[in-house]
Structure 1
Amino acid sequence: MVERAGRRGTWWMVGLVVLAVAAAGTTYSVLGRRAEEPATAGPPSPPVTRPSAAAGSSGPPGDKRMLAEIDAVLKTRASAVRTGQLAQFLQHLDPQNSALRRRHQQLFGNLRKLGLRHLSYRREGGWVPEPQPQHGSEARAFRVMMLVQVTGIDPAPRFVPLGYTFAERGGRWLLVDDDDLAGEQDRGTYREPWDLGPIEAVRGPGVLVVVPANERANGRRLVGEARRATPAVRAALKRSPAGVLVIAMADQRSMDTGWQTGGHPAAAVAVQNFSPVTAAATRFEVTGSRVVINPTERTKADRFLLAHEFTHAAMAPLGGKAPTWLVEGLAEYVEFRLTSRHGDHQRVADRRRTLLRQAIPAVRRLPTDNDFRGAYDEQSYGVSWIVVEYLADEYGISTLNALYADLARGPEDAAARERALRQHLDTSEAELVAAVKEYDG
């Protein structure tokens, strides 16, 4: 359990938002979007709600009528899913596009299986001409925000970016395409499980596992593993996620190609869920996480891997600015506690002893965020685990949680992190490193 072929990870949004502390949680104010993301970019970031340069809702009367009809179509489709009306869901699709209609019939069935508390669609203020000429010169492409909340799992609706194209057919505005580039800048290569063919949704206490339709047995297995992981997180951290959607699909598109660590795909990723906190959807907060298991790992993923990822999910609402050594070290700490308590104490003890003898003496500083992206990420994980275990033993989990919450709010600069260490631990980074070198486990 100590070593894995693929590493797990949690992905934080970087460079796209300004953190603002609110009583309800960590709130993100959207400023803009970087022109280029790093190779290890994380999950889709919140949409920037702004009119397109091409057109907007304040156009001529024809545009206003078009926008009103499109809004009505989106509202009707959301209502159809909530009430189970397939014909209503399909009635505004292009009748000549049989492939589109098949996809959306499957989409309807998949969304119904999830057990949704909320589903709605919001159109952005502007539009652009459809880049695919087969839909006609008057076709219009829109960025659309899908807001979806799974009953018993999501504390608030999370946003999902879409690119929808509408065209007028016989005096009615119909949905004619759903893969337009209008949504690609948010989506990357990741696709939601309900877009990847027939699914099964298997529920357990505080967890919903989504698997391919022919893998329900694996879904039940993962629910059982999750039931053993969640108490371990709660016992170690004195907190746990309210609910987690676990995605274990066979399709490689369920994992973004950028979700890598140490140069190879992660075994699983805790992907943050963003929910709008303003009516205009200009600010978002992290309200939880969903756990996406690498398709190659989906039948092998166990309670230990889930405990690691559920730790990320539990801590995510505190903010995304905590140093990676603390983020990953805490998840390793929870995972190894569970491993030890499930009869593999000796392996954990051996791993600790090896790190204390070989890695810790060479440590000159706490692992940096960049250390987890290079060739030495495995050692960085191990060193971070030892540091967090020392902190938990020496200061207690309450102090560790307070330190995490403070660092998670940011800022991310070294001086601020040093101040947090002194405030909560009455020590500096150099003194902490020296103390860890004296730690005997």
Structure 2
Amino acid sequence: MDVTTDGERATRGRRMRLWIAGAVVLAIAAAAATWAVAGRGDPPSPSVATPTQTSAGPSVEERILAGAGAILKTRASAVLSGHLAQYLQYVDPANRKLRQRDQQVFANLRKLGLSRLSYQVDANWAPEVQAQHGPSARAVRVLMLVQIAGIDSTPRATALGYTFAERDGHWLLVDDDDLAAETDLKAYREPWDLGAIEVARRPGVLVIVPAGERRNGERLARESQSAIPMVRSVTRRAQAGIAVIAMADSRSMDPEWRTGGHPAAAVAAQNYAPANPEASEFKVTGSRVVINPDQRTQAGRLLLAHEFTHAAMGPLGGRAPIWLVEGFARYVEYRLAAQSGYQRELADERRELLREKIPALVVLPIDGVFHGDYDEDSYGVSWIIVEYLVTTYGQAAVNSLYADLARGPDAPAVREQVLRKHLKVSETALVAALKKYDGPA
């Protein structure tokens, strides 16, 4: 039965392509690699080494690393066991606002149903002096590793900036936003940092919404479950589970998550896990889907299917051409749309694209100017290409093509070689064949 919301049905109509014109995948390489600091939720990058011990005894930096490590271990244990007093035990009693924030973060983390949580001071980052909190105060970069039961296959890494200071012979957490590298704190935050949350669960799905929006969270959980079977059927891949973030606060979306010059409607934001004990390299282990706050009450199964496809394919690698990345996701989305009663709208869009856009193809849409040649129709053109490939060569062949291209490198000669390997055709011949395509039989 079609349970697509009236709002989504009205929005899509003949111009249903506009839903995903605002969608984007963070297509980053999935193999172990070193990542630069790009935001509070991204893994840290190496910086200046921590000072070594001197003949006069341990330096302040060395003592703070030891003290911070003990505090962080206590806090992780407190969250998992549900002991708030233990979590706040080493938080500066004079910093009332920090204690209030921490109390809310604790409550939020408890709602997620964590199976694992740990913190470690990033030894690749030099502690920074924070004299406003006293002569011993240092800000350090902390790696938070959080795993949601039934959702994450491995702990996901997110970076924090914590300031610790020695007071009366004891180390305390005195602030959480002093680190110089955390100048982007107001640009992007984890959902548990953005006030009280509510959580909606279904098998394999967890939706995080602001307090008071449980009804929308339950709706998104149902829509997610409606999207997952099609994603699994086409991609032949699936995460252990998927987290969907639909917060009202604009800081839940990184302002750099844009497509075609405007904010994305949603993103499949990749999850990272340390690839070595030093946490100097990270690997992609899956994704979470973050919905633009402006779209959180309208987003439905079709948008979710698009982003879940990105999440499923992301760990393969980030070198596939964007026409395949976006075309494949739209293909899955439109397969679900057809199943949900949009056959006429799809036929209209296909007919328009085949008449007005495909004849203009000279080469497959180029990554750097994906939006430039066809504007919003870049997604539609890419959908037609993928639909043609599946119709002509079969789903398994297209999936193998995607996996090979995703591994890279993304050099034109290599892509041409991969096309010939899987499809026995050159790009020139493929473009010529596309111009003769009149839709699936």
TM-score scaled by length of structure 1 = 0.91
Structure 2 equivalent of residue 304 of structure 1: 302
Aligned residue type for 1:61: P
User: How far apart, in 1, do the equivalents of 2:184 and 2:157 lie?
Assistant: 11
State the SS of the aligned residue for 1:165.
strand
| Contact residue 229 and residue 303 of structure 1 kept, 8 A | yes
Structure 1 equivalent of residue 432 of structure 2: 434
User: How far apart, in 1, do the equivalents of 2:63 and 2:83 lie?
Assistant: 26
Could you report, residue by residue, the CA deviation over 1:86-111 in whole angstroms, capped at 9, with x for unpaired residues?
00000111110000000000000000
State the SS of the aligned residue for 2:90.
coil
Q: Does 1:190 align with 2:188?
A: yes
Q: Does 1:29 align with 2:33?
A: yes
User: How far apart, in 2, do the equivalents of 1:186 and 1:143 lie?
Assistant: 14
Structure 2 equivalent of residue 127 of structure 1: 126
Structure 1 equivalent of residue 43 of structure 2: 46
State the SS of the aligned residue for 2:341.
helix
Runs of at least 5 residues in structure 2 that lack an aligned partner in the other structure: 1-11
State the SS of the aligned residue for 1:208.
strand
- Deviation, structure 1 residue 77: 0.5
Structure 1 equivalent of residue 349 of structure 2: 351
Bigger drift between 371-380 and 64-73 goes to 371-380
State the SS of the aligned residue for 1:234.
helix
Moved over 6 A (4+): 185-188
Paired residues, number: 420
User: How far apart, in 1, do the equivalents of 2:162 and 2:88 lie?
Assistant: 14
User: How far apart, in 2, do the equivalents of 1:259 and 1:386 lie?
Assistant: 25
Structure 1 equivalent of residue 266 of structure 2: 268
Structure 2 equivalent of residue 3 of structure 1: 17
Change in CA separation of 1:334 and 1:258 when aligned onto 2, cut-off 3 Å: same
Match for residue 415 of structure 1 among 413, 416, 441: 413
Structure 1 equivalent of residue 51 of structure 2: 56
User: How far apart, in 2, do the equivalents of 1:324 and 1:369 lie?
Assistant: 6
State the SS of the aligned residue for 2:271.
strand
Change in CA separation of 1:228 and 1:273 when aligned onto 2, cut-off 3 Å: same
State the SS of the aligned residue for 2:391.
helix
Change in CA separation of 1:78 and 1:320 when aligned onto 2, cut-off 3 Å: same
| Contact residue 309 and residue 329 of structure 2 kept, 8 A | yes
Aligned residue type for 1:199: I
Aligned residue type for 2:132: Q
- Deviation, structure 1 residue 151: 0.5
State the SS of the aligned residue for 1:343.
coil
Change in CA separation of 1:204 and 1:344 when aligned onto 2, cut-off 3 Å: same
User: How far apart, in 2, do the equivalents of 1:389 and 1:308 lie?
Assistant: 15
Bigger drift between 148-157 and 176-185 goes to 176-185
Match for residue 314 of structure 2 among 289, 313, 316: 316
Bigger drift between 410-419 and 184-193 goes to 184-193
Could you report, residue by residue, the CA deviation over 1:134-155 in whole angstroms, capped at 9, with x for unpaired residues?
2123210101110011100011
- Deviation, structure 1 residue 124: 1.4
Aligned residue type for 1:12: A
Structure 1 equivalent of residue 93 of structure 2: 95
User: How far apart, in 2, do the equivalents of 1:374 and 1:176 lie?
Assistant: 49
- Deviation, structure 1 residue 12: 2.5
TM-score scaled by length of structure 2 = 0.91
User: How far apart, in 2, do the equivalents of 1:110 and 1:407 lie?
Assistant: 40
| Contact residue 261 and residue 372 of structure 1 kept, 8 A | no
| Contact residue 162 and residue 183 of structure 1 kept, 8 A | no
Give 1:70-85 correspondences, 5 Å limit: 70-85=68-83
Structure 2 equivalent of residue 66 of structure 1: 64
Aligned residue type for 2:17: E
| Contact residue 40 and residue 160 of structure 2 kept, 8 A | no
| Contact residue 143 and residue 182 of structure 1 kept, 8 A | no
Aligned residue type for 2:23: R
- Deviation, structure 1 residue 372: 3.3
- Deviation, structure 1 residue 28: 2.1
User: How far apart, in 2, do the equivalents of 1:89 and 1:199 lie?
Assistant: 19
Aligned residue type for 2:99: R
| Contact residue 177 and residue 185 of structure 2 kept, 8 A | no
State the SS of the aligned residue for 2:387.
helix
Structure 2 equivalent of residue 22 of structure 1: none
- Deviation, structure 1 residue 188: 8.0
Change in CA separation of 1:44 and 1:399 when aligned onto 2, cut-off 3 Å: farther
Give % identity: 57
Change in CA separation of 1:198 and 1:410 when aligned onto 2, cut-off 3 Å: same
User: How far apart, in 2, do the equivalents of 1:44 and 1:265 lie?
Assistant: 18
User: How far apart, in 2, do the equivalents of 1:357 and 1:324 lie?
Assistant: 23
State the SS of the aligned residue for 2:326.
helix
Could you report, residue by residue, the CA deviation over 1:7-63 in whole angstroms, capped at 9, with x for unpaired residues?
1111123xxxxx6xxxxxx42221x649xx8xxxx9954322x4535x436564144
User: How far apart, in 2, do the equivalents of 1:269 and 1:359 lie?
Assistant: 26
- Deviation, structure 1 residue 329: 0.2
Match for residue 277 of structure 2 among 276, 279, 285: 279
- Deviation, structure 1 residue 242: 2.3
- Deviation, structure 1 residue 428: 1.2
Change in CA separation of 1:46 and 1:426 when aligned onto 2, cut-off 3 Å: farther
User: How far apart, in 2, do the equivalents of 1:145 and 1:367 lie?
Assistant: 39
Aligned residue type for 2:58: P
Change in CA separation of 1:43 and 1:398 when aligned onto 2, cut-off 3 Å: farther
- Deviation, structure 1 residue 283: 2.4
User: How far apart, in 1, do the equivalents of 2:47 and 2:364 lie?
Assistant: 44
User: How far apart, in 1, do the equivalents of 2:164 and 2:63 lie?
Assistant: 13
Bigger drift between 183-192 and 230-239 goes to 183-192
| Contact residue 27 and residue 283 of structure 1 kept, 8 A | no
| Contact residue 32 and residue 275 of structure 2 kept, 8 A | no
- Deviation, structure 1 residue 344: 1.1
State the SS of the aligned residue for 1:200.
strand
- Deviation, structure 1 residue 199: 0.2
| Contact residue 84 and residue 103 of structure 2 kept, 8 A | yes
State the SS of the aligned residue for 2:362.
coil
